[in-house]
Structures are given as C-alpha cells and as structure tokens.
C-alpha cells in the first residue's frame, strides 16, 4: 500500500486510511511455541476474549492441521470470540492444511486463512528440498484454495528477509494474482536490521504489480533485540499490519512485543503518524493474564509492563518526578493500566474491599467461583501475615486463576528433622478423586515431589526448580517455578503460598497439568513436492 494513499479497501476492514495500522496478534500461535509454554482450551478462550477486548484486529488462533487439540481450539475461538478477525495458519503446499483451516474457522463472524511457505535459498534447499519453480506453483495453489474458502487471505514468505529480492518479488506477485489480500514478509530468524526491513517493503511496493491492492505485513523476531525497531522501520517502508505478541513471547528470543509497538506509535506520533485500535489502559491487565497462564513472569525492567517500568530510585530522578512527572516519564503509568491505589488490605478486610482491590489490580473479570476461592485464600494469608501487599494478592490470585483441570493440590503434612529424611503425607485430586500418598526424601521438597510421582506416576524430568519471595519479610509468600521435561517437551508451572513446600507442590501440579496438554500436540506431516 502506497504511503501517500488516502484510503484502501480491505475485505475484513472496509475502507481504511493510510494511517491505520492493523494489529495482528499471534500470541496463541507463534507465542505458544515458546519453550515451556502451553495453554489448554479454556486458557486460550480466555486469552482470545481478552485480546478482542483489548482491540486486537486479527487473532491468529492456531495451526488446525497440527493436532486435534489445535483444531478444536481454533474452532472454539472462532465460535465464541467476537469483534476480531479470527485467523488460522496453514502451509501453502498442504491441501489438508487449507481444508482444516477453513473447517476450523467456519463458525467465525470474520475469518482469515494465513498460508505460508519458505522462500529463502537456505530454506528451499535444506528444509523444503524444492526448486524455486515448485515453490512458486505451491504459492499459487495454496492461495487459490484459501481464497475459495474466504475473501480474507494472507500469505507469508517464511524467511522472507533472507530471500533473494528478485525471487521475493515473483513470489509476492504470484500470491497477489492467486487472491492473497495481505502479504507478510517475516524476519523469521531475527537476522534483519531496521534498514533491511524498510528497504524490503519499499522495494515490493515499487516493483510488484498489484502491490497497491494489498496490505503489507511485518512479522519480526527478536533474536538480535531488534524486533520492535524492525517493525517500526517496516511501517516506514509501507507495511500497514504488524504481527506481534503480548509480552513479546515466541520462538527462541520471541516476537516483537505488542505493548511496545503500540506505545511507541502513541508516544512518538511525531515520528510514526499511525493509529491503532488498541485500548492501551488494558495492556497491563492482558500482560498479567498471559504471565499467569504461561507461568512466565515479565522481567522487572521490561518496557511498558515490567514492575520497574515506572519506578525511580535515583534521588535526582525522584526529585524531578515529584516536581513534574514528565521530567522522567514519557508516558503516564495509568495510560497502560498501572494504578496508584494505596488501599491497605488485612484480615478485617471484607469481600467488597477485596473485589475493589482486584479491580484496581486488573482482575475485574474474575468469575464468582474463582473470586470466592481467592478470597478464602486471602483471609487465610491475612491471618498469617501482618501486612498483605498488592504483590501478595497478585501472586495469590494468579495461582488460583491457573487452570488445574486434571490434577489439583488438596493437602499436605510434613515431618522434617535435621540429619534425617523428611516425610510427607500428600493428598491430590486426579479428575475429582482423592489420591493419598506418603514418601520420604532428602529434605521436605524432595519428599513432596517423590510423593507427587507416586500419586501421579510419570517419567518427566525435573529440569528447573526455583524459589523466590513475593515480598519482603520472613512471612512473605514464596513463588516457585518448576520446569518439567519429557521427550523434548518443556513445560513450566508456578505456585505461590506462604508455605514454601506447598508453593513448590502447587508449581509441580501446575506443570503436570500443562504437560498433559502438551502430550496431545503432534507435528503435521512433512510437505512433499
């Protein structure tokens, strides 16, 4: 799309101005491919609803042909999520892929099939083992098949940033002629620089026939820490869709972070005069929801949504902020969802005050069942702690909000004496039925994990065990992370409790539940020429 165009007609969005940027979120597809990440159906539906409320234009819900679970999740998101375009991924050369995507998307109000194939010399030779002419034929075949199922078709040149420019132009032209309405040129391995990406999009718009009739899209990975910078440069080159994820999650070092792109456009509108549909005050809430579901905390110094993003320790900085916040803050904390609430919670706080605190912390959408469970745990915690901090409540609610469909922690008793093995009596629920076990170990955590392996036999290896304090003080809650590895699959679980051993068991149980989801995942059949 030419930068000087006053408007553009799109099959899903109608007449669009040249300043409008489409936000394409791939948290549920590319983001979920992060090592250790896994979401079940209920969690994906929660995230999809949150993304739609946030104002995301296109939600890439998954890769339907990959497994029965992937197909079901795309189908259910298409059925229940309103407002956004629901997108499914498929390979250009896979007839089964295209058909599965079309079938999974059938209930959607607005739908898109996103098909892709590798175009770089390296990928064609070693991954696909195909000649360039065969790839061109499959681009035509895939986009034609997709266009027969929906008017909104996206095509991606995998490893596009390392593709020969002349061949890339031929591929894009073939995709447009076959019916693609959005053309995505990914920096699949995070190799490109901002100058590279701006040049690629400028070249395609100038050289490819029909380029003025499609939306160009940027999908940048963050291997060199340039994902967001490359995305902004792509907009300068003429892209008007950006593909990104909440918290920047994704393969390897991740994708360009949605919250960073959106706030860069808003804060530096003088340099990037573009608009999005994102409700920025919901950014923190959605970020926290994803961190809860995936068990991956956002690093403290993460831009926009890290807990230190608006913190000032330097005396000079603190003095300046007190006099005028703009001296050291280029955006307000409230603009992305942070709250300055100082409501103190304790054992005498009631349910109404607890609900108000949750709303201030970004948990306004909790259902009554989870609210009651969280309130019960809060009252128990308040009986054991003098002061309950906001971070305590966040840790407690996040732990309660995690999905434990198959396995749930019920109770634990512990006997531990220095110089002797520890002994644990553990009760968990497996599909609603109590399972009680007893085990010993070299310390209380080892004994508890041995008991878990007896209660729910499995061969997964403990790859990581980490404990941190949620707040200061000897009565602080412990937040534990457990990583399990099984047949090359990694999952991370988190748990929080004032009792460190209970926190560890909760984390292990969460990881086991995620492992059960990941076991059902399979890789699609390889393409053949």
* Binding site members: 30, 219, 221, 255
Token representation of residue 66:
């990959």
Contact (CB, 8 A) for 507 and 493: yes
Token representation of residue 36:
């250790």
- Angle value at C-alpha 188, between 179 and 129, nearest 5 degrees: 75
What does R_g of the chain's alpha carbons equal in angstroms? 25
The upper half-sphere exposure of residue 139, i.e. CA atoms within 13 Å in the direction of its Cβ, equals 28
Which helix (H) or strand (E) element contains residue 79? helix 68-80
> Who's near 143: CB < 8 A, 6+ residues apart?
92, 115, 153, 155, 174, 175, 178, 179, 180
Could you tell me which residues are annotated as the binding site for Mn(2+)? 30, 219, 221, 255
DSSP designation for 280: G
- Separation of alpha carbons 101 and 115, rounded Å: 9
Token representation of residue 449:
């994990």
If 0-12 CB within 10 Å is exposed, 13-18 middle and 19+ buried, where does residue 232 land? Answer: buried
Q: Please provide residue 491's backbone torsions phi and psi, each rounded to the nearest 5 degrees.
A: -135, 145
Answer left, alpha or beta for residue 473, where phi above 0 means left and psi between -120 and 50 means alpha: left
Token representation of residue 166:
């002349």
Q: Residue 152, Cα to own-chain centre: how many angstroms? A: 24
Report how far apart, in Å, the C-alpha atoms of 107 and of each of 10, 74, 79, 87, 258 are: 21, 10, 5, 12, 27
Token representation of residue 15:
């007449």
Decide: helix, strand or coil at residue 445: helix
**Alpha helices of 81-226 — where are they, by DSSP H?**
95-104, 121-122, 132-147, 165-177, 194-207
DSSP letter for each residue of 166-190: HHHHHHHHHHHHTT-SEEEEEETTS
If 0-12 CB within 10 Å is exposed, 13-18 middle and 19+ buried, where does residue 339 land? Answer: middle
């Amino acid at each position: 799309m030419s930068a000087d165009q006053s408007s553009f007609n799109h099959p899903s969005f109608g007449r669009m101005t040249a300043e409008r940027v489409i936000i394409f979120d791939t948290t549920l597809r590319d983001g979920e491919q992060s090592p250790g990440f896994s979401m079940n159906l209920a969690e994906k539906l929660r995230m999809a609803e949150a993304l739609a409320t946030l104002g995301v234009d296109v939600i890439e819900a998954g890769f339907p042909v990959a497994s029965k679970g992937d197909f079901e999740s795309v189908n259910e998101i298409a059925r229940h999520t309103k407002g956004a375009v629901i997108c499914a991924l498929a390979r250009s050369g896979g007839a089964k892929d295209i058909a599965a995507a079309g079938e999974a998307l059938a209930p959607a109000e607005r739908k898109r099939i996103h098909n892709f194939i590798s175009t770089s010399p390296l990928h064609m030779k070693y991954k696909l083992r195909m000649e360039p002419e065969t790839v061109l034929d499959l681009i035509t075949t895939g986009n034609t098949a997709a266009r027969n199922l929906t008017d909104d078709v996206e095509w991606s040149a995998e490893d596009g940033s390392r593709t020969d420019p002349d061949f890339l132009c031929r591929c894009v032209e073939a995709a447009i002629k076959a019916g693609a309405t959005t053309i995505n040129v990914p920096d699949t391995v995070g190799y490109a620089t901002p100058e590279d990406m701006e040049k690629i999009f400028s070249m395609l718009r100038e050289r490819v026939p029909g380029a003025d009739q499609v939306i160009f899209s940027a999908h940048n990975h963050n291997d060199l820490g340039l994902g967001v910078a490359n995305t902004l440069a792509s907009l300068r080159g003429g892209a008007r869709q950006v593909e990104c994820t909440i918290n920047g999650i994704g393969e390897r070092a991740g994708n360009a972070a949605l919250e960073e792109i959106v706030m860069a456009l808003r804060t530096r509108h003088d340099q990037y005069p573009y608009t999005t549909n994102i409700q920025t005050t919901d950014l923190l809430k959605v970020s926290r929801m994803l961190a809860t579901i995936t068990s991956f905390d956002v690093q403290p110094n993460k831009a926009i949504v890290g807990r230190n993003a608006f913190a000032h320790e330097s005396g000079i900085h603190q003095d300046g902020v007190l006099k005028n916040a703009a001296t050291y803050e280029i955006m307000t904390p409230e603009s992305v969802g942070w709250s300055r609430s100082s409501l103190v919670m304790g054992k005498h706080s009631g349910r109404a005050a607890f609900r108000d605190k949750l709303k201030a912390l970004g948990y306004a959408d909790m259902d009554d069942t989870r609210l009651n469970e969280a309130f019960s745990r809060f009252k128990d915690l308040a009986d054991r702690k003098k002061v309950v901090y906001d971070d305590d409540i966040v840790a407690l609610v996040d732990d309660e909000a995690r999905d434990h469909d198959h396995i749930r922690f019920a109770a634990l008793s512990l006997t531990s004496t220095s110089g002797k093995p520890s002994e644990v009596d553990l009760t968990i629920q497996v599909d609603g039925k109590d399972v009680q076990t007893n085990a010993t170990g070299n310390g209380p955590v080892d004994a508890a994990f041995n008991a878990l392996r007896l209660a729910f036999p499995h061969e997964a290896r403990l790859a990581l065990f980490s404990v941190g304090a949620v707040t200061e003080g000897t009565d602080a809650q412990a937040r534990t992370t457990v990583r399990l590895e099984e047949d090359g699959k990694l999952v991370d679980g988190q748990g929080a409790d004032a009792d460190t051993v209970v926190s560890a068991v909760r984390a292990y149980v969460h990881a086991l539940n995620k492992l059960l989801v990941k076991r059902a995942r399979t890789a699609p059949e390889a393409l053949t020429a």
